[in-house]
Amino acid sequence: MTDERAVRIGVAFAQQTDRGRSGRLCCACVDVLRVSGAGVTIMSGRNSGPVCSSNELVGKLEDLQFALGEGPCHDAFTTGVSVSEPDLAVCSPSTWPHYTQRAFDLGARAVFAIPLRLGADPIGVLTLYQDTIGLLSADQTADSIVIATVLAHTIASIQATSTAPLLASELSDANAHRAEVHQASGMTAIQLQIDVDAALVRMRAHAYAADQSVAFVAQEIVAHRLRLSDDRHIENMD
């Protein structure tokens, strides 16, 4: 990364994030990188899940990865290496068996995932979406790496101001609903006498099968309108 590039990206990013609050980090990525959409997901600890998305469609794409537990975001985080898929239409079915077709049906044509690092270990992922096929340009690729660094430090800085175990309010967008996801997984864990991680897997499986977001399923469970049963079916609660 050149100093000139870092300064240029830093200034542009700061200008964009100062324009609004909700989803501003992701909107800034779109404006600076000139991509169709962007999403940021934290993949470390109990805050795991989408942080923000540049628009409603990207929100669905990000939640899809969270629900399925597969996709470019997961691969980038697990390997620590950027993932590039310039044409989802020809992506091997074995790469992401459940994600690829669903993402394509939602309108994504190309997707790129860049790990967010603090030190040696990734804490999350920046995922970029295009509604046309093709690789990112050399400048877009180089700029995305710089932005990933800026995002990692921005997230750490914002979260450092929060005394709560969940994300600082500046990082939580309307689609994340982390508190409800944690509460719902805890309720389900107690109800089914399983651990919280297994409960979250149950919630994700239902969200995928019912074509709903994990956030929506959590909201319904917390409101006692839905109940996950032992056989993984949902019982409606009047």
pLDDT digits (tens, 9 = 90+) for 139-186: 999 999 988 988 888 777 766 655 555 454 545 544 445 567 777 877
Q: What is the pLDDT of residue 95?
A: 94
pLDDT, mean over the chain: 80
Q: 145 Cβ partners below 8 Å, 6+ apart?
A: 1, 82, 114
At residue 73 the predicted structure's pLDDT band, cuts being 50, 70 and 90, is very high
At residue 100 the predicted structure's pLDDT band, cuts being 50, 70 and 90, is very high
Threshold 0.75, pTM exceeds:
no
Percent of the chain predicted with pLDDT > 70: 78
Contact 204, 214 (CB under 8 A): yes
Residues of the chain with CATH 3.30.450.40: 3-159
Q: What is the pLDDT of residue 174?
A: 43
Q: In the predicted model, is pLDDT for residue 232 greater than 50? A: no
Contact 10, 91 (CB under 8 A): no
A 10 A CB-CB count for 105 gives 9
Q: What is the pLDDT of residue 237?
A: 39
Q: In the predicted model, is pLDDT for residue 13 greater than 70? A: no
Homologous superfamily in CATH for domain 3-159: GAF domain (3.30.450.40)
Query: What mean pLDDT do residues 120-146 have?
Result: 93
Contact 50, 66 (CB under 8 A): yes
Distance CA 125, CA 43 (A): 7
| Segment among 73-77, 148-152, 205-209 with least mean pLDDT | 205-209
Distance CA 218, CA 205 (A): 12
| Segment among 30-34, 219-223, 228-232 with least mean pLDDT | 228-232
Written as one string, the DSSP assignment of 39-70 is EEEE-SGGG-EEEEESSHHHHHHHHHHHHHT-
